[in-house]
Amino acid sequence: MNYRNAFMAMLIRDLRIAFRQRAEIMLPVIFFVVVVSLFPLAISPDPAVLKTIGPGVIWVAALLSVLMSLQNLFRSDFDDGAIEQILLSPYPGALLVLARVLAQWCVTGLPLILISPLLGLLLHLDFHIIKVLFVSLLLGVPYLSMVGAIGVALTVGLRQAGALLSLLVLPLYVPVLIFGSNAVVSAAKDMSYNGQLLWLSALLVIATTLGPFVISSALKVSCSYR
């Protein structure tokens, strides 16, 4: 029994699969950029307006793209039976699931975070505000992936999973949305934003410690129904 090997095997497998489906992993990032660029068209190209709505727009768009990127998190493993082998492995399900979510985060969450400064520029945010936006997303997006994965694990066996997934997961995203976008807004007003960032960190710690266990037991439940 070698826990590190099992974790790495899972991580490498998923990264490999993801990179062989290049087009699919780019979609959430493209979605993110497109959604954000719709707002100036819908509301106003006025820099003053964009500055005020910018943080919220970017955060909401990030939240929706993460949710979209998660839709198929366990789908193929569920369809081809790999999930059974994962659940029947003597290694803890939480460990393998953590590797799975981490891989997903690397290929979809990380690009999202990396491209966010560009979107900040499009919405006329100042450089020091973009910095805060970047940090808030860096702390918030992994939380979104982890909590979203719980919803995915619960709905993976269902046919119409998409709409239900949003209903299950979006209410749980509320705190991160509030603290994340508010950190950026506070930075824009030259107010302290450390509290919000600390909250985001705390939520991230809770989600990454408890999340994998919840996800693996949810997968077990979903798997017992075919």
Partner 1 sequence: MSKVDKLWLWFHRMASPAYFYNIAGRLLPWIAVATIILMLVGSVGGLVYAPADYQQGDGFRIIYVHVPSAWMSMFVYMVMAVNSAIFLIWHIKLSDIVARSSAVIGASFTFLALVTGSIWGKPMWGTWWIWDARLTSELILLFLYLGYIGLRSAIDDRRVAGRAAGILALVGAINIPIIHYSVVWWNTLHQPASVSKLDNPSIELSMLIPLLSMALAFKLFYLFIVLVNSRSELLEQEKRSQWVKELVTSQ
Partner 2 sequence: MNRPVSSGNAELLAENLSYEINDKLILTDLSLAVRSGEILFIEGGNGSGKTTLLRILCGLMQADEGRISWNGESIQSALLDCYQQLTYIGHATGVKSDLTTIENIRFFSAISGLPASSDIQSALEWVGLSGYENSPGRHLSYGQQRRIALSRLMINSSLLWILDEPFAGLDKKMIEKLQDRFVEHADDGGLLILTSHQSIDLNKMNSIRIHLGN
Q: Which residues bind partner 2 (CB under 8 A)?
A: 1, 5-6, 8-10, 13, 16-17, 20-21, 76-77, 79-91, 96, 220, 223-224
Burial string for 140-151 (b: 16+ CB within 10 Å, else e) reads bbbbbbbbbbbb
Residue pair 112/32 in contact (Cβ under 8 Å)? The answer is yes
Q: Binding partner 1 by CB under 8 A: which of 8, 12, 114, 178?
A: 178
| Exposure on the CB side of residue 50, measured as CA atoms within 13 A | 19
Cα distances (angstroms) measured from residue 92 to each of 89, 156, 200: 7, 20, 27
CB of 11 to partner 2, least distance (A): 11
- By beta-carbon proximity to partner 2, the closer residue of 42 and 88 is 88
- The residue with tokens 């709905």 is 155
Query: Apex CA 168: angle with CA 77 and CA 183, to 5°?
Result: 105
Q: Binding partner 1 by CB under 8 A: which of 95, 170, 201, 208?
A: 170
- By beta-carbon proximity to partner 1, the closer residue of 38 and 191 is 191
Residue 191 DSSP class: -
- By beta-carbon proximity to partner 1, the closer residue of 58 and 153 is 153
CB of 134 to partner 1, least distance (A): 21
Sort 16 into a burial class: Cβ within 10 Å, 0-12 / 13-18 / 19+: exposed
Q: Binding partner 1 by CB under 8 A: which of 158, 162, 198, 205?
A: 158
Distance, in Å, from the CA atom of 177 to the CA atom of 59, rounded to the nearest integer, reads 7
- The residue with tokens 């826990």 is 3
Q: One-letter amino acid identity for 51?
A: K
- By the rule CB under 8 A, 171 interacts with partner 1: yes
Quick one: what does residue 116 bind among partner 2, partner 1, none, with the CB cut-off 5 to 8 Å set by partner type?
none
- By beta-carbon proximity to partner 1, the closer residue of 49 and 210 is 210
Residues that bind partner 1 (CB under 8 A): 147, 150, 154-155, 157-158, 160, 164, 167-168, 170-172, 174-175, 178-179, 182, 199, 203, 206, 210, 214, 217-218, 221-222, 224-225
